[in-house]
Amino acid sequence: MDKRKIGVIAAVIIVLVGAVGLMVYQKSQVKPAATPSAVSTSPTVAKVDLSTQPAWVQNLEVTAKKGRSANGLDNVTVTVTGIPANTVSGVTYVMQYQTTNKGTQGALSMTPIDLTGRTTFSKAIDLGTCSTSSCVRHEGVTSVDLELDFVALDGSKPVWEKTLDL
């Protein structure tokens, strides 16, 4: 064999080894997809031992009443009474429930609802979603898991949680 053929064969071998090495490197950089059980698609209601919360949180009266909203969806009106005056500046909520047609569903507030100076709070929450063309009803809801996260004026963040029958 002449030197030219040996050079071409060596170059081909080097290119092949480089290509295989590059493929191995790229495969090692790919991370496996998360399994569905490890992925949370929505916030869940935290289980809270109310005895660890301030006395005023333990004594709150919280009710949930099923009704119908203006858009035709069923809704739940949550009413909270017994908030001590000048104690709370705001509240956020997480509500989770089981449906007969869409599995586990829920609703939450992203920013605190202003409660400054108020001793009561009421919020109607739709059981379903609407777009510009149609609404999807969440059917068969008989109870809701509700978490209320308060923002107290003293900087603390007390939590109230319970399952409420409708």
pLDDT band at 35 (very low <50, low <70, confident <90, very high): very low
In percent, the amount of the chain with pLDDT more than 70 equals 79
pLDDT above 90 for 151: yes
Q: Tell me, what amino acid is at 19?
A: A
pLDDT band at 34 (very low <50, low <70, confident <90, very high): very low
**Beta carbons of 60 and 83 less than 8 angstroms apart:** yes
Q: Are strands 61-68 and 113-114 parallel, antiparallel or unpaired?
A: unpaired
- For residue 71, the tally of other CB atoms under 10 A from its CB is 10
Q: What is the CATH number of domain 50-165?
A: 2.60.40.2150
pLDDT band at 141 (very low <50, low <70, confident <90, very high): very high
Distance between CA atoms of 107 and 6, rounded to whole angstroms? 71
For residue 26, the model assigns a pLDDT of: 65
Mean pLDDT, rounded, for 116-140:
93
- Lowest-confidence region among 19-28, 73-82, 85-94: 19-28
Mean pLDDT, rounded, for 67-87:
94
**Beta carbons of 86 and 154 less than 8 angstroms apart:** no
What is the value of pTM for the model shown?
0.72
pLDDT above 80 for 145: yes
**Beta carbons of 147 and 50 less than 8 angstroms apart:** no
**Beta carbons of 118 and 57 less than 8 angstroms apart:** no
Distance between CA atoms of 26 and 21, rounded to whole angstroms? 9
**Beta carbons of 87 and 152 less than 8 angstroms apart:** yes
Buried b (16+ CB within 10 A) or exposed e, 126-159: bbbeeeeeeeebbeebeebbbbbbbbbeeeeebe
